[in-house]
Structure 1
Amino acid sequence: MIEHFSIKEVATYDESGIQVAGLKKINFIYGANGSGKTTVTKYFYNPEDTVFHKCNLGWLGGTPVKALVYNKDFRNRNFGKGNIDGVFTLGQATKEQIEEIEQKTKNREEIKEKGRKEKKSLETLNFKLQELENDFKEEVWVEIYKKYEPEFKEAFKGFMQKELFKQKLLDEYETNISGHLTHEKLKEKADTIFGKAPTLLSIIQNISFERVVEIEEDNIWKKKVVGKADVDIANLIQKLNLNDWVNEGRGYLQEEETCPFCQEKTITVEFKKKLESYFDETFLKDIELIKSCSEEYSLLTANLLNILQQIESAEKLNENTKLNIETFTAYIKTLLSQLVTNKGLSHNKVKEPSRSIEFIPVKEQLGNIKELISAANSDIEKHNTIVANYTTEKSDLIKLIWKYLIEESRLRIQNFLKHKAGHLKGIDALTKRIDNLRIDYKKLDQEVKNLTKNSTSIQPSIDEINRSLSFYGFQNFSIVPCKTEKNQYQIQRGDGTLAESTLSEGEVTFITFLYFLQLAKGGSTEDDISDERILVIDDPISSLDSNILFVVSALLKEIIKGIKKSEGNIKQLILLTHNVYFHKEASFIDGRTKECSETAFWILRKNYNVSSIESYGMKNPIQNSYELLWMELRNKDENSGLTIQNTMRRIIENYFKILGKYGDDDLIQKFTDYQEQEICRSMISWINDGSHSIPDDLFIERQSTTIDKYFDVFKKIFVHTNHLEHYSMMMGAPSLN
């Protein structure tokens, strides 16, 4: 069964086209001539035609069903070419065979219906699975990707789309065996590897300060360097603490005997000897040591400071520095202060060797500085190792990042996979059941075809068509089997001559429709008799006499009844017409029921050469009102005899059934005349769904005298039931007492 269809970009349908949804078992589409009805039927006949490449058909359960299409093309394909292809029906089957075929067909339909339900369940489960996938995809996109993208964007390259990211996360969950690093460590490594392409960094020159420490710790700085104590002038020099003063004054002694201090001739050779004896070789060595240590200390510390200051300047300009520059600078400032003090002390010691001094130790400060440099160099070596192995390091880091993301979302992923596994298990079970049902269906289908193959014939279709032709007054021609071709028909007159080329337009149309109905009930081959099908009918009364309008509608109503009851292999009807009255007749249910859940209505329109459609759901947009029926009777001279009969029948149904006072037999038995009873029966025979087939019960005559007789019987119904007042009121006649 078709659930929905769309027609676009073909004929009078523009790029928006029409979308028709909510099709039921019975569907009526009303549209004026040229509104686009034939295009719709052509699409149903051959949806694979390239002109319909923008159109779409939606089948119930996704299962296509054979569509039999009645339109002008159907007539052209089947008539006007000579012989007519035969229609196979169960003509030779026994009662038991027919019952067996019907039972197996019923079983086949039950399997198909069960398959539809299972497919529906499968669709629901697939939808839930897709919903689960989408929810998980959105969740990880927001909670993981958006959260970590600023930091780890490089690791997400190639997966910066929701579906790809979700799948990558699941893949990594299954395969990633990397270690686990903290977020801080990952960010630190990412800053190095994912930043600007890394380059080699130069090792920072480290410092050596052992000699500086040795000089600072030399005992000479604490030693009071004085002259020899056993010289007689020693007591006076030391008593007056003039050691450094005298030692410095020695340099001012001249060859003369004049004292550089008092300018008297007091410097004797003997005094000079005493001075030289006092400032002996030991004293001179100590003095020399002090001077050399002071000079060396100044030189070493100056060089050291120069190195450190160069390092400081270079690293401040290095944006990739690994040195803790702030701490390094603070250490240098402290060191500089210490060295300035120590240099002052050493200079004083040189000037006053007899003084004892103590340096501020710079060992600790230089040690701190050296540790900073060593730490920086260690990081530089690591960095340079990374640079040397950049591709490997980058790949490893990306794996570590995904491992971190997995661990952060482990419960979320496990919960998703658990529910997904449940859905997949259900889907697998449903798929297997559907496959088994498909096997069972094919088996039963083959059994039905085998049973029908040997029980079919084209003769029943010939007999049925000829009976209908005769019954409805077409008695000057009939359908006969072709004598030269097997399983084909010919249209023949009573004298044996072929009649196809001499038939009127209305005769060809009617016989074409009768042939179509037989084809709908049977099959063009022995194998497809039992196949399910839908009927698409486009204006079956376009060229017919108005007398036949109700015949065609009656035939269609019998088919509609079967479709609604799910009897037979016709599963759906789509009827398109431009004839308002035919539409009303074909869609009429009964006087009590205005809507049916199995029926849907549309109106197809064309404005400015563009077709559009409007849905009316179960509500028939072309309604027959009770007043309209009486109006048609009042204008009886403009209607055919058949129209009058049907109108009377529907008035009887509306009026008497609504009142609920009379049953069908009650009305018929009001007449004693047999002919009047038959006319009355003819008018109301369509009221009950359980009546016989329309051709059997329909009482048709076209003589004007019969029309008058209808009116007479119709009026007597109201007379016999004491409702003449109502008749007179509706017919606009004065009251009759």
Structure 2
Amino acid sequence: MIQSITLKNTATYDNNGITISNLKKINFIYGANGSGKTTISNFLHNPKNSNYNDCEIKWTNDTPYRTLVYNKSFRDQNFTNSEINGVFTIGQATQEEIENIDKKKVELEELKSELTQKLDLRKTRNKTLQNEQKQFKEDIWNIAYKKYEDNFKPAFTGFMRKEAFSTKVLREFGDNISPMLTKEELVSKSKTIFDSKIELYVSLSIPNYQDLLNINNDVIWNKKIIGKSDVDIAKLIQKLNINDWVNEGRSYLKDDNICPFCQQETISDSFKLQLEEYFDKSFMDDITLLNNNYQNYIRLSNNILGELYQIESTEKNNPNTKLSMQSFSAHLKTLESQLNINKELISNKEKEPSRSITLQSIEEQLKVIEQELRNCNKEIDNHNKIINNLTREKDKLISCIWKYLVEENKTSIDNYTKKTTGITGGINTLNLQIDELKSKIRDLNNEIIEGTKNITSVQPTIDEINRTLTSFGFLNFHIVPSSIDSNHYQIQRENGILAESTLSEGEITFITFLYFLQLCKGSISKENITEDRILVIDDPISSLDSNVLFIVSSLLKEIIKKIKDDNSNIKQLILLTHNVYFHKEVSFIDGRTEKCKHTHFWVLRKKDKSSLIQSFEMKNPIETSYGLLWEEIKNRDKSSNISIQNTMRRIIENYFKLLGKYGNDDLINKFSNLEEKEICKSLISWINDGSHTIPDDLFIEKQDVIIENYFTVFKNIFIHTDHEGHFNMMMGENQKNSA
């Protein structure tokens, strides 16, 4: 299942974004139009879209499920053509075949459940192992590194981080066979050996230049690359010395007879044939060799110069360099100059292959530079031989220091090793069991797929949709197999005429939703019928009347029940809606049950142009439309300042209109303060307009202090009319006071 959804930097979700966490099997998200519901469904439909680069879906055990999304895009995509993709479900089959498949499905669910348990156990043990490793790193750092840092710091070079130090300790614990010296002996030796400033030097690398030299000496540079001489046209081309010009022009020849040079119809098939014979395979082979040599020369020369200049830069900053810098740099500059001249010559040759060129010899400079490097390395070798004995003593001392550390902390290291070995062994065993379970699940799933291939059909889907249409009074159209493709549907009137273009918006919405429900049970491909899936449904009752609203909610409640009972390959439902009545109807369980552990409720709002979400866990925050208005007042700090005044007005109209004994002036005159009278008049003026829309003046953004002034007057209306008890009840003040 999906564990959490994070939306950030897309549509109405700002840089802070929201995270919908702790998702259950059944999830209800209520939000007004424009609050960001469609963005959620679009993201879940296509999370790889570049619009959602900062968004994230977190799956249980990092195992994604197929996600089916119903929203406006689904309706548009499935009713743009006259035909609809068929949905395969289990068709005509013997009872034995169906029972066999059902039995394997049960077995598959059991294996998946066992796999989930193993994965959870592995995660727990991995966490335990990580905690042990973390604790050991801290402990050994404090009792070994910190304790002896002042005495033996040179021995810790390369291991002065907790991770590296603890790894080194464990390796030395198993491998170190050095003699055990006392701390005093180690400190004494350290003062003598570690204080020495003599160090081993690293030899310089000598670039391999033989390939470059071979290319530099290739005979292709001197060769005039021209066409075949025994072709009629050869004499003219060679006499005019236009070999390269003609070769270049060949690329502009087209299928017509137009000459690319004079733009006249002078090119005959015979002429084209002569050109092909003139520029024969031998010519093309030479051109290929020329081009390859050109590319390789550039690459190799750049690489060698790069290596040599890196050596020059490093050695200039090396106070102990053995390289003769003045001579080396002079020869390097000369080599670079020669290579640049040769590159220019080669470039010209590549443009005009008939030209003969002679490259400057670079062999002398390369060999001089090589000798400079060899002389340097010889001095480095002599230096290193002198201090090799000292280095060996230093290495022996370092090994003895590590031996002392691990022996002093042997008990701690030994306890840690035994503990983590046991945990690691358990994890390895789990890994084998998990791999085996995955293999069994894969094999069993393939058996189910193969078993259903021969008994799948689109006809049950057609029958089910038509049965639902008929049972709910939609009698003037039905679904029929496509006349073109039996795996597609068409919507047809009773008279046989296709009905897609004449359906109402409500009819299209309803039939698309029925199609989606069948898709949830099956698949448009035979292979995916049995796979687990997640449903995301965004406002399924758009354009539907109240009767169909209850039909849709009834159909969804059947699916919800099966999800809760684990009696379906649908494992999770995320339902988003802006309709209070639909939300109330579809989330209703029974008259006795208020909460369900498999259900989670959210309210999505938009404040200051950004979407916010509030979790209500198992408690349904949507009771009635009137109650919802009061929820907006209670959560006014999370609501838009634009809409909160309108919410207050609607409550006043609903409550006092039903009460029936207070006129507008009666309410206004309850206030003696002029400012409060004006605010009260503003609140109830909307009632006189008889409008249920937000007037233009409400688009002016209210400051929080003004909103609180409105709220104070709003509350006082109830107090002055002796209905403070109703206000306290709706605001939950009674519960606070009793608490």
TM-score when normalising by structure 1: 0.58
> Which residue identity lines up with residue 602 of structure 2 in the other structure?
W
Please show how residues 20-31 of structure 1 align to structure 2 within 5 Å.
20-31=20-31
Separation in 1, partners of 2:531, 2:139: 49
Separation in 2, partners of 1:198, 1:53: 54
Alpha-carbon deviation of 1:99? 1.7
Kept in 1, the 8 Å contact 2:35–2:611? The answer is yes
Alpha-carbon deviation of 1:61? 2.5
In structure 2, the residue matched to 1:403 is 403
Mapped pair 1:569 → 2:577:
no
Mapped pair 1:491 → 2:491:
yes
In structure 2, the residue matched to 1:503 is 503
Kept in 1, the 8 Å contact 2:580–2:625? The answer is no
In structure 2, the residue matched to 1:266 is none
> Which residue identity lines up with residue 436 of structure 2 in the other structure?
N
Separation in 2, partners of 1:387, 1:117: 61
Please show how residues 268-667 of structure 1 align to structure 2 within 5 Å.
389-624=389-624
> Which residue identity lines up with residue 135 of structure 2 in the other structure?
D
Separation in 2, partners of 1:33, 1:165: 58
Alpha-carbon deviation of 1:575? 0.3
Kept in 2, the 8 Å contact 1:3–1:59? The answer is yes
In structure 2, the residue matched to 1:151 is 151
Separation in 2, partners of 1:157, 1:610: 52
> Which residue identity lines up with residue 408 of structure 2 in the other structure?
E
Separation in 2, partners of 1:500, 1:625: 36
Please show how residues 222-261 of structure 1 align to structure 2 within 5 Å.
none
Query: What SS is found at the alignment partner of 2:537?
Result: strand
Kept in 2, the 8 Å contact 1:26–1:600? The answer is yes
Kept in 2, the 8 Å contact 1:112–1:441? The answer is yes
1:502-544 Cα offsets, whole Å, 9 max, x none, are 2111111111100000000111111111111111100001221
Query: What SS is found at the alignment partner of 2:520?
Result: helix
Alpha-carbon deviation of 1:387? 6.9
Separation in 2, partners of 1:142, 1:432: 37
In structure 2, the residue matched to 1:84 is 84
Kept in 2, the 8 Å contact 1:80–1:501? The answer is no
Kept in 2, the 8 Å contact 1:534–1:571? The answer is yes
Alpha-carbon deviation of 1:93? 1.8
In structure 2, the residue matched to 1:132 is 132
Separation in 2, partners of 1:545, 1:422: 64
1:398-429 Cα offsets, whole Å, 9 max, x none, are 22211111111112111111111111111111
Kept in 2, the 8 Å contact 1:87–1:522? The answer is yes
Kept in 2, the 8 Å contact 1:84–1:488? The answer is yes
Separation in 2, partners of 1:35, 1:513: 23
In structure 2, the residue matched to 1:7 is 7
Alpha-carbon deviation of 1:68? 0.7
Separation in 1, partners of 2:37, 2:190: 67
Separation in 2, partners of 1:20, 1:415: 43
In structure 2, the residue matched to 1:166 is 166
> Which residue identity lines up with residue 558 of structure 2 in the other structure?
E
Separation in 1, partners of 2:173, 2:600: 53
Separation in 1, partners of 2:625, 2:95: 45
Distance 1:414 1:9, change over 3 A: same
Distance 1:171 1:189, change over 3 A: same
Kept in 1, the 8 Å contact 2:26–2:574? The answer is yes
> Which residue identity lines up with residue 530 of structure 2 in the other structure?
S
Separation in 2, partners of 1:424, 1:167: 16
Kept in 2, the 8 Å contact 1:386–1:393? The answer is no
Query: What SS is found at the alignment partner of 1:612?
Result: strand
> Which residue identity lines up with residue 536 of structure 2 in the other structure?
V
Alpha-carbon deviation of 1:624? 4.9
Query: What SS is found at the alignment partner of 1:396?
Result: helix
Separation in 1, partners of 2:185, 2:387: 18
In structure 1, the residue matched to 2:46 is 46
Separation in 2, partners of 1:396, 1:49: 59
Separation in 2, partners of 1:480, 1:596: 40
> Which residue identity lines up with residue 125 of structure 1 in the other structure?
R
Query: What SS is found at the alignment partner of 2:611?
Result: strand
Query: What SS is found at the alignment partner of 1:527?
Result: helix
Separation in 1, partners of 2:553, 2:502: 26
> Which residue identity lines up with residue 186 of structure 1 in the other structure?
L
Kept in 2, the 8 Å contact 1:69–1:535? The answer is yes
> Which residue identity lines up with residue 440 of structure 1 in the other structure?
K
* Larger CA Rg, structure 1 vs 2: 1
In structure 1, the residue matched to 2:252 is none
TM-score when normalising by structure 2: 0.58
Separation in 1, partners of 2:96, 2:461: 21
Separation in 2, partners of 1:94, 1:66: 29
Q: Which runs of 5+ in 2 are unaligned?
A: 200-384, 629-739
1:16-41 Cα offsets, whole Å, 9 max, x none, are 21112211111101111111111111
Kept in 2, the 8 Å contact 1:491–1:499? The answer is yes
Alpha-carbon deviation of 1:170? 1.1
In structure 2, the residue matched to 1:62 is 62
Separation in 2, partners of 1:198, 1:98: 83
Kept in 1, the 8 Å contact 2:580–2:624? The answer is no
1:198-219 Cα offsets, whole Å, 9 max, x none, are 69xxxxxxxxxxxxxxxxxxxx
Separation in 2, partners of 1:388, 1:469: 93
Number of aligned pairs?
443
Kept in 2, the 8 Å contact 1:523–1:529? The answer is yes
Separation in 2, partners of 1:193, 1:505: 90
In structure 2, the residue matched to 1:259 is none
Alpha-carbon deviation of 1:195? 3.4
> Which residue identity lines up with residue 101 of structure 1 in the other structure?
I
RMSD of aligned Cα (Å) = 2.1
Alpha-carbon deviation of 1:482? 0.3
In structure 2, the residue matched to 1:719 is none
Kept in 2, the 8 Å contact 1:192–1:198? The answer is no
In structure 2, the residue matched to 1:113 is 113
Alpha-carbon deviation of 1:114? 0.6
